[in-house]
C-alpha cells in the first residue's frame, strides 16, 4: 500500500513517520528545496536564523514519533526547558520576566506590575482545567463528528459549559481576571498564537497559556529547525522517500476514490493521499473540479507577519531568547489589523536564538528575528508598509531598550505576507488558516478526512485542529488513527 504526502511541513513529516511505521510505502512531495514548510531556516554568512515558529511546546508529541518507531530508532532530538519563557518590556519602562515556574512568575507579576499573585495562580489553574476539559476532544480527536458529540468528553463539556467561556471574548475574560492593564495585555497576547484578535476571539482561547506556563516552554539545543530536521532524518531511516523541488499539479481521483497524484507532469499511482498544504490554495490548484465549500471561505483569515532577520553587531544583556516590546495601545493595534494596515506603534517580538545556540551567530554578535503581526495580503503597498514599520520598530527599540540598532545591522532579509504565500502556499500569507475571531471557530475548520473522496486526508495548520507546531503534530496523530495498519 502506497501513500503520497503533499508538503513536508511539520504535519506532513509526522504523518510520513506514522504511516511508515504502519507498513505503508510513503513518498513526500515537496515543492521547495528544503523540508519543513514554515518551520525553516535561513543563513546569511555566519548567521543562522529560524525563519518560522520560534516557541516549542508539547515536545512529547515529537518524542512520541521516535517511541512509535521502536527501540532501533533512538531519540537523538534534544531540547531543554526555558527558565524564562519571555521577557516583556512595557512602554512605561516596566520589565517583566515570565518565569517558567508559575509561582515565581506570579510573584514577579506582583512585584513588577502590582498584580496580586493569587490572580495569576487562579487564572493558570482555570487554564489547566479548561485544557483538561477540552483538549482530548478539540485537539486530539477528529472533531467535529457525531461520535465526538456523543463522547464522554462532550458530555463533560456539556455539564461544564460555562467553563468554556465561549460566550465572552478573551479580552473580557482577562479584564475580569486581572487588576492591572499590563497583565491583561500580556494574557491578551496569547490570541496571536493562532493569528486571532483577543477583542473578538472567544474566552476559550485562554486554554493557550496553559501550554506555556503550566506544561512548559522549551527550546531545541540545535535551534527550532532541528525539529523538522530530526523528523526528516527519522522518516528517511524508516524508508520514506522525499521528492524535493517537485510541485504537485493535481490530486487524481476516480468515482470518489483517490488514485494518485500528478507531479512534475508525471502521473503516480497511490492508495492514499495526505495533503499538508493550505486548503485554500490546494483545492483550486490540486482539485479544481472539487470546489471548497463556501462554509470555509466565509471565515476571516488569520493574521500574517512582517519579519526582519538582522545580523547584529554586539551582544545585548537586557534581552533574552524571547522578548516582547508591547505597544502603548493594544486595542488600536488590532483595530488597524482589521483595517488591513499596521499601527505606527506595533507590539514587537524579538527572538534571538544565539542566546541559546551560540553557534547561530559569530562571537560577539547576535541574530535578531524581529516580527510584528500584520494583516493578510489584500494587495496593500507592502513596500511602503515595510519601510514605515521598519522605521517605527527601530525607533521603538531605541526608545524602550536604549539600543541604537540601525548602525549595528550588518545584514538583513525581510519576509512579508506575499512572500509567505509564495514560499509556503499559505493563502494571502495567513499563518494559521482561518482565525478564531468567533466562538464557532473550533467547529469551522476543515476536517482531516475528505467527505467526498475516499483515501484523501488533510493535515497541517489550515485544517483541524489548527496552526502551530503542537496542533500540526496533533493533526498527524488524528489522521494516523483514521487509517488502518496494513
- CATH of residue 471: 3.50.50.60
At residue 164, the pLDDT reads 87
> Are residues 108 and 175 part of one domain?
yes
pLDDT (average), residues 71-90: 94
> Are residues 153 and 199 part of one domain?
yes
pLDDT (average), residues 54-61: 96
Does residue 275 lie within any of the structural domains? yes
CA distance 104 to 288: 54
Domain containing residue 365:
303-375+378-415
At residue 151, the pLDDT reads 73
Least confident interval from 7-16, 248-257, 290-299: 290-299
Tell me how many domains the chain contains: 3
At residue 24, the pLDDT reads 98
Residue 439 pLDDT greater than 90, yes or no: no
Measured over all CA atoms, what is the biggest interatomic distance in the chain, rounded to whole angstroms?
66
pTM recorded for the entire structure: 0.96
Does residue 83 lie within any of the structural domains? no
> Are residues 282 and 204 part of one domain?
no
Cβ(203)–Cβ(166) below 8 Å: yes
Provide, rounded to the nearest whole percent, the portion of the chain with pLDDT above 70: 98
For 217-251, give one letter per residue: b (16+ CB within 10 A) or e: bbbbebbbbbbbbbbbebbeebebebbeebebeeb
pLDDT digits (tens, 9 = 90+) for 16-43: 999 999 999 999 999 999 999 999 999 9
CB atoms within 10 A of CB 286: 21
Mean pLDDT of the chain, nearest integer? 95
> Are residues 366 and 309 part of one domain?
yes
> Are residues 471 and 322 part of one domain?
no
Residue 233 pLDDT greater than 70, yes or no: yes
Does residue 211 lie within any of the structural domains? yes
pLDDT (average), residues 406-410: 98
| 233's grid cell | 532524518
pLDDT digits (tens, 9 = 90+) for 147-191: 666 777 777 878 887 888 999 999 999 999 999 999 999 999 999
> Are residues 311 and 371 part of one domain?
yes
At residue 147, the pLDDT reads 66
At residue 157, the pLDDT reads 78
CA distance 16 to 320: 35
Residue 138 pLDDT greater than 90, yes or no: no
Chain-centre distance for alpha carbon 301: 14
At residue 148, the pLDDT reads 64
Does residue 107 lie within any of the structural domains? yes
At residue 144, the pLDDT reads 65
> Are residues 132 and 201 part of one domain?
yes
Cβ(92)–Cβ(256) below 8 Å: no
- pLDDT bin (cut points 50, 70, 90) of residue 338 is very high
Residue 146 pLDDT greater than 70, yes or no: no
Q: 190-194 long-range contacts, Cβ below 8 Å, gap at least 24?
A: 191/436, 192/303, 192/373, 193/468, 194/302, 194/432, 194/435, 194/436, 194/466, 194/467, 194/468
Give the C-alpha distances (Å, rounded to integers) separating 104 from 100, 209, 218, 388, 401.
8, 15, 17, 39, 24
pLDDT (average), residues 115-135: 96
> Are residues 253 and 206 part of one domain?
no
> Are residues 208 and 271 part of one domain?
no
CA distance 254 to 257: 5
pLDDT (average), residues 357-368: 98
Residue 4 pLDDT greater than 90, yes or no: yes
> What angle (nearest 5°) sits at the alpha carbon of residue 346, between those of residues 340 and 348?
125
Chain-centre distance for alpha carbon 46: 27
| 426's grid cell | 499559505
Q: Pick from 216, 248, 270: which residue ends a domain?
A: 216
CA distance 94 to 85: 17
Amino acid at each position: 500500500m502506497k501513500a503520497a504526502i503533499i508538503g513536508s511541513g511539520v504535519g506532513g513529516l509526522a504523518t510520513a513517520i506514522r504511516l511508515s511505521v504502519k507498513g505503508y510505502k510513503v513518498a513526500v512531495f515537496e515543492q521547495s528545496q528544503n523540508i519543513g514548510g514554515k518551520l525553516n531556516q535561513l543563513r546569511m554568512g555566519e548567521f543562522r536564523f529560524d525563519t518560522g515558529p520560534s516557541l516549542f511546546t508539547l515536545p512529547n508529541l515529537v518524542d512520541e514519533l521516535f517511541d512509535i518507531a521502536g527501540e532501533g530508532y533512538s531519540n537523538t532530538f534534544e531540547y531543554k526547558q526555558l527558565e524564562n519563557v519571555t521577557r516583556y518590556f512595557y512602554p512605561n519602562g516596566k520589565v517583566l520576566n515570565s518565569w517558567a515556574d508559575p509561582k515565581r512568575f506570579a510573584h514577579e507579576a506582583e512585584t513588577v506590575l502590582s498584580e496580586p499573585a493569587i490572580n495569576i495562580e487562579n487564572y493558570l489553574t482555570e487554564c489547566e482545567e479548561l485544557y483538561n476539559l477540552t483538549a482530548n476532544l478539540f485537539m486530539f480527536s477528529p472533531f467535529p463528528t457525531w461520535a465526538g458529540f456523543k463522547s464522554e468528553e462532550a458530555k463533560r463539556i456539556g455539564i461544564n459549559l460555562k467553563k468554556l467561556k465561549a460566550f465572552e471574548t478573551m479580552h473580557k475574560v482577562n479584564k475580569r481576571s486581572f487588576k492591572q492593564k499590563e497583565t491583561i495585555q500580556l494574557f491578551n497576547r496569547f490570541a496571536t498564537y493562532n493569528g486571532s484578535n483577543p477583542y473578538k476571539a472567544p474566552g476559550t482561547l485562554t486554554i493557550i497559556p496553559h501550554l506555556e506556563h503550566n506544561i512548559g516552554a522549551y527550546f531545541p539545543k540545535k535551534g527550532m529547525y532541528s525539529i523538522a530536521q530530526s523528523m526528516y532524518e527519522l522518516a528517511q531511516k524508516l524508508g520514506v522517500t522525499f521528492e524535493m523541488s517537485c510541485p504537485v499539479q493535481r490530486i487524481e481521483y476516480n468515482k470518489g476514490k483517490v488514485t494518485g497524484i500528478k507531479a512534475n507532469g508525471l502521473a503516480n499511482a497511490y492508495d492514499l493521499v495526505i495533503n499538508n498544504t493550505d486548503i485554500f490554495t490546494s483545492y483550486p490548484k490540486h482539485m479544481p473540479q472539487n470546489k471548497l465549500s463556501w462554509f470555509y471561505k466565509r471565515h476571516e483569515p488569520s493574521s500574517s507577519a512582517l519579519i526582519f532577520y538582522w545580523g547584529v553587531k554586539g551582544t545585548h544583556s537586557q534581552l533574552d531568547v524571547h522578548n516582547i516590546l508591547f505597544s502603548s495601545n493594544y486595542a488600536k493595534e488590532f483595530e488597524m489589523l482589521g483595517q488591513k494596515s499596521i499601527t505606527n506603534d506595533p507590539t514587537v517580538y524579538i527572538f534571538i536564538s544565539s542566546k541559546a545556540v551560540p553557534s547561530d551567530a559569530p562571537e560577539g554578535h547576535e541574530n535578531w528575528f524581529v516580527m510584528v503581526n500584520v494583516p493578510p495580503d489584500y494587495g496593500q503597498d507592502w513596500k511602503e508598509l515595510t519601510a514605515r514599520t521598519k522605521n517605527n520598530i527601530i525607533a521603538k527599540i531605541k526608545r524602550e531598550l536604549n539600543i541604537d540598532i540601525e548602525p549595528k545591522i550588518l545584514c538583513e532579509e525581510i519576509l512579508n505576507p506575499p512572500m509567505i504565500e509564495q514560499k509556503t502556499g499559505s493563502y494571502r500569507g495567513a499563518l494559521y488558516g482561518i482565525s478564531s475571531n468567533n466562538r464557532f471557530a473550533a467547529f469551522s475548520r476543515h476536517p482531516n478526512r475528505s467527505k467526498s473522496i475516499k483515501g484523501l486526508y488533510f493535515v497541517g495548520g489550515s485544517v483541524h485542529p489548527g496552526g502551530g507546531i503542537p496542533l500540526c503534530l496533533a493533526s498527524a496523530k488524528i489522521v494516523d488513527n483514521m487509517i488502518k495498519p496494513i
